[in-house]
Structure 1
């Protein structure tokens, strides 16, 4: 595939290829001390290290005290749902996993190791992650396609005693909720009473719906490529049938026009140019649109504002209000590792979203989400993960 064909800015893609070739990988291992004397070599390796191994054998819960597992995350993918590229396989996923590890280190000073698996079924991936889990303090699942990502995460959460977090689901949901909390303030609406339309019922869309439901938003309509997910639909997967308990469709059947009629909020995790001005005009006044498809959103900002949208968010860094998972996951993992959290719960996600939203003291249409580069970001979120 020609990388320049995957996004509107081919220059960025060509520059990225050159930068990656120059670095030959974005990560390297650094030492906290050097085994540069006979005494140090005896301490850090043989014979001294035997005492540490014996101690951990007798007290396994001491592993974090005597190894880097206290600050180490595995970034695990099978390459089945990478960015907007789809199922490109584990080798092609490696640069993305390296990038994720880079963000862990830069923003939260967390050591992260990218691990791409030549494994394809839920059983294979679960077994592989369980086998390597003793080496890590937490597991970040990344770019694993739905619906198997749901099963993989739940099984690993049940079977491991370290945090397991599928960022494509929950990192997205946390940042979306934070943005919606502030967007609702801007348009002077009660978020819990808003009618919300979510287009896209994959990993991100499902997690958004679940977290909004936990927050207290009850009027949610979900759509996939076939239209409204309602009781009248046949052939729904088990995952989509489960959404029926969390949503309140405006009609059992219908398309986006039916769903948006009288809606307050549109959230798209679907495909470019799905939304047009006529659809937006069906929405209630002071509408909120989160057009999160990448690299092209469901609607371009100028068209959205021309149609009357009051607050717009996208997944892009060159527009205001970027919904970026990096706003959430470094702080969530920092807090989990520092505070001995074994399982990241809905309460943690709600707390993270609330903390993120509260960082914007005076929400405005062009600022409902804090900057990724605010120095207190990670510390603020980490403080509520306990």
Structure 2
């Protein structure tokens, strides 16, 4: 029998995966490999990261989460449900690895731009920690993907015979808070104060509260609020090399005022304040946000959630995005709405009329929820847009030129 080197095994596996035409089939093949031969899985991912990253994470992971029950074979990661309340410390002790350095945890309430997927959101922590290893060099044994199963309000899942989670409406209030507090305490007790806990895909009303509550007692990080913001800011800094000027010279308009939108906006304002010594309140005035009810303005402040209030400026109410573009006259348009095709032809053309090189970041995931496609952005702006997205788009040919769209984030909603 021949001896096959690792290089040969990688070549063989890539040949096998490329035979699949459906991305979800490629995802399932990669997950099977991760279970059977973890070392080969990471070798494959590291050597072919550009090709396989969209398979193991966005956009394919979104479809995998939606269909998680039907493709479920054997459990990956740690599921903690309301049934384990009072026993979470013991549950964590049963995990075979002891030296845990990074935990990615979700409760599945706001998976990508797809909404409440309950415990089927486990695909996100698993995929994210694969990237920690492949791109960050963290040992797989030091990573722990966790899903907190408190039920789901998704009626389709509750009636799905293949749904693997609790068949009940989501726990809220004290019941939810007590379970999360027990989990956070048990994590520190089991793994020490230096373990990183990354909150992933929690709904707005819980995400901000959890970050504020545990930010002083645990090493915590919210990817949607903080991680996305840092990568988008880096993307903007890179874009400025093309369009010119500093951050303070630009006007920003967001479609979407949730975790991602407000997190990005706040980091931009902080950077403007730092660069110019401008008071933070003044820096925020360069940034406007549009939510589902229209432009966020002072006249709405009493009805706004607390994280939106800093962005309520003195301006007349505006309902439609295109009217906000024409009224605010932004140089940068950023989509974090989780709603696909909201950067319409009219909106992109308005940005192109106002700016020689409009910066358009369409960040919502997966690609079906992207505010516009790369092709739409380049075509409607006559090839002048500086475009980036959350999930990868293929290169676009327009009038004899090939445009390669940037990808500035892996996940936004």
TM-score, normalised to structure 1, is 0.65
Pairing of 1:215-294 with structure 2 (within 5 A): 215-216=271-272, 217-218=283-284, 219-233=286-300, 235-244=303-312, 248=313, 250-261=315-326, 262-270=329-337, 271-283=339-351, 284-285=354-355, 286-294=357-365
2:149 aligns to what SS in structure 1? coil
Equivalent residue of 2:117, what SS? coil
Look up the SS of the partner of 1:117 in the other structure: strand
Moved more, 260-269 or 235-244: 235-244
Q: Does 1:124 align with 2:173?
A: no
Equivalent residue, structure 1, for 2:134: 106
* Greater displacement, 126-135 / 201-210: 126-135
1:122 Cα offset (Å): 4.0
Distance, in Å, in 1 between the alignment partners of 2:315 and 2:330 is 10
Separation in structure 2 between the aligned mates of residue 199 and residue 302 of structure 1, nearest angstrom? 20
| Structure 2: gaps spanning 5 or more residues | 1-19, 40-96, 151-170, 273-282, 395-404
Deviation at 1:22, TM superposition (A): 5.5
State the shift of 1:129 in Å: 1.5
C-alpha distance in structure 1 between counterparts of 2:340 and 2:37, whole Å: 30
After superposition, the Cα gap between the structure-2 partners of 1:10 and 1:222, relative to the gap in structure 1 and judged at 3 Å, is farther
Q: How many residues align?
A: 273
In structure 1, the residue matched to 2:25 is 14
Q: Counterpart in 1 of 2:51?
A: none
Distance 1:186 1:108 in 2: 29
**1:302 aligns to 2:375 (yes or no):** yes
The correspondence of residues 296-335 of structure 1 with structure 2, limited to 5 A, is 296=367, 297-308=370-381, 309-319=384-394, 320-325=405-410
Shift in alpha-carbon separation, 1:25–1:253, aligned structure 2, 3 A: farther
Q: Which ranges of structure 1 fall in alignment gaps of 5 or more residues?
A: 1-8, 29-66, 327-386
Kindly state the Cα deviation for residue 188 of structure 1 after the two structures are TM-superposed.
1.5
Render the CA deviation track for 1:43-94: whole Å, top value 9, x for unaligned.
xxxxxxxxxxxxxxxxxxxxxxxx975x71111111111223321112x122
Q: Secondary structure at the match of 1:232?
A: helix
Greater shift after overlay, 278-287 or 97-106?
278-287
Shift of 1:252: 3.7
Structure 1 stretches of at least 4 aligned residues deviating more than 3 Å after TM superposition = 21-28, 248-254
Q: 1:238 to 1:10 in 2, by over 3 A?
A: farther
Offset, 1:23 = 4.5
Tell me the alpha carbon deviations over residues 159-182 of structure 1, each in whole angstroms, 9 at most, x when there is no partner.
Answer: 22xx21011211110010000111
Partners of 1:74 and 1:26 in 2: CA distance = 22
User: Alpha-carbon deviation of 1:235?
Assistant: 2.4
Partner of 2:47 in structure 1?
none
- Determine the C-alpha separation between the residues in 2 that align with 1:249 and 1:287: 25
The match for 2:250 among 194, 205, 216 is 194
TM-score by length of 2: 0.61
1:76 counterpart residue number:
105
CA contact (8 A) 2:288 2:311 kept: no
RMSD of aligned alpha carbons: 2.6
Cα distance in 1, alignment partners of residues 299 and 220 from structure 2 = 35
Aligned to 1:146: 204
**CA distance in 2 between partners of 1:226 and 1:139 (Å):** 34
